[in-house]
Structures are given as C-alpha cells and as structure tokens.
A and B are shown apart, each in its own frame.
Chain A
C-alpha cells in the first residue's frame, strides 16, 4: 500500500513538471460545436491544478479566439502548451485575414454580419477581450491569407 502512495506522488509531480500540449481542430460556421475546444482546454487546465482565476482568463481568451475562427474562417486549429511557467495558445486559421489589425483591436469595431450579432457575438469586443485577459498577445495576418493569434498567460503570477 505504501508503495502505491509513493507511485501516486511521483505521477502527480510528473504531471505538473512535464509540459502538457495538444491541438484542437476548429470548423468554420459549426456553431453547434463552437466552444468545445475551449471547454476541453478549461477542463485540462483544471486537471493540471491551475488557479481558478487564471483558468477563467484562459477560457475567456480561448473562447473568443475560437469564436473568431468559427465566425469568420473556413477552418483553423488551436494549439496549446502548458509549462510550469506559462500557458501558450496559438490559433491559426485559413483566412480571409484581417486587413487592419489596429482597427480590429478597437473596442466596438466589428465586421460581423447581422446573424452573428443575433447570436450575441460580433460586438467588437473579441480581440480587446483576449488582450485584457492575457499577459502577451500577438497577431499576424495578411488579407487573403490566414491569421495567427498567439497569447501567453503567466502561471506563476497571483
């Protein structure tokens, strides 16, 4: 019995020290499954044992990024990696790209069509909201090509 306990402790230690990473595939216009990737990420972060308020920030940022892919692009993927220091999420999509990133970062600016607004999104808060909830955010895009959004949340803070 005692030995079992020792094994358990070692496993937990490993779980925390090792990097955890994975990828989710996102399908554009699939509103039925919108949010499932962020939901799974939230569960994984909970299992790792990350602080609740950090998980909330991560889940909100991931969900906004996921919704952007679902709303605006044909497809994309969300890659996440967790180290003891940081959570890094990279969301890549297949286009159409963002023409003016600075403008897209403005609170209230949105190019979303009406049916998206009727769903409660496209109020122009998505990208600013991701920035607000993360410690680093980088976005690269060119029209006609895809957009890559990257954000980092420090896990050692708080």
Chain B
C-alpha cells in the first residue's frame, strides 16, 4: 500500500519536514509496547502506535521501520520529531483511534 493512499485513508498529516517520494509499504504492526515491536515486528513495516516518546523513534530506528503513524490525535514532542528527521523516519498523525486505523488499513488489504 502506498504511503499517500495510507494518508488519505486515515486523513493523516505528515509531522516530519523532510521531503519524500511516495513509496510502498508491505505491511503494518500495531503496539504500544516497544519490546513487542522489537521482538515481533518485521523490518520495513508501518508502525501504528499511541505512544509518542523518543523511545518509539529509537525502536523504529533499530527495527528498521521507516514510517510511524500516531493515532488518536497524539503527537510526539519537537525533539522526537527532530530525531526522526535525523534518522529518516517518516512520522504521520491521525485523529482516528487505533482500532479504526487498523480496521481501515486491513480493509484496504494491508496485512501484518
């Protein structure tokens, strides 16, 4: 699923300032437990989470995750966004709750 389609599906906005060209995401993983992400999430997936601290960005960095979407209108602070930009990780934010986000993406054919 293309990033721009994901953004449209979730009415999401981009939080990071770096430019990017639309790319394909193979699957998604949702969790608020970063150890679970490190243990079970494959690389190159979309991470769906309600957690917004710097450890989320670090987790994405180490697990080779390129895109994070924050749900329920939650937003990381400016330092987390800066770290994300430094590491080349795209941050998106949506007002939709976690269940709705997962449901919509699953409905569009995205799998874990």
Cβ of A129 and Cβ of B39 under 8 Å apart?
Answer: yes
Q: Is the CB of A31 within 8 A of B54?
A: yes
**Is A64 interfacial (CB-CB < 8 Å)?**
yes
Contact A120 B61 (CB under 8 A): no
Q: Mark A66-82, 1 if CB is under 8 A from B, else 0.
A: 01000000000000000
Say what secondary structure dominates the interface of chain A: helix
* A: contact size bracket: 20 to 34
B38 is an interface residue with CB less than 8 A from chain A: yes
Main secondary structure of the interface of B (DSSP, over half): helix
| B82 in contact (CB, < 8 A) | no
Identify which of residues 128-149 in chain A touch chain B, using a CB-to-CB cut-off of 8 Å: 128-129, 132
Contacting A120 at CB < 8 Å: which of B43, B56, B64, B79?
A: B56
- Report how far A2 CA is from B1 CA in the complex, Å: 48
**For residue B95, which residues in chain A have a CB less than 8 angstroms away from its CB?**
none
Does B58 have its Cβ within 8 Å of any Cβ on chain A? yes
Within 8 A of A (CB), among B88-111: none
Establish whether residues A31 and B64, one from each chain, have CB atoms under 8 Å apart when the complex forms.
no
Complex-state Cα separation, A121 to B59, whole angstroms: 11
Q: How far is the CA of A38 from the CA of B51 in the complex (A)?
A: 21
Q: Complex Cα distance A32/B80, Å?
A: 10
Known A32-B54, A125-B38; judge A120-B33 contact (CB<8 A): yes
Once the chains bind, are A123 and B33 in contact (CB under 8 Å)? yes
| Among listed A55-63, A84-92, A98-106, A150-158, interface-contacting one | A55-63
Contact indicator A125/B55 (Cβ below 8 Å): no
Closest to B87 in A: A39
The residues of A that contact B15 with a CB separation of less than 8 Å are: none
Complex Cα distance, B36 from A122, in Å, reads: 10
Q: How far is the CB of B80 from chain A (nearest CB, A)?
A: 11
Name A120's closest neighbour in chain B (CB-CB): B34
Question: Which A residue sits closest to B43, measured CB to CB?
Answer: A56
Q: 7 nearest interchain CB pairs? A: A35-B58, A125-B35, A120-B34, A59-B62, A123-B33, A129-B39, A123-B35
In addition to A121-B35, A123-B33, A129-B35, 5 A-B residue pairs with Cβ atoms within 8 Å of each other are A35-B54, A35-B62, A63-B62, A124-B35, A132-B39
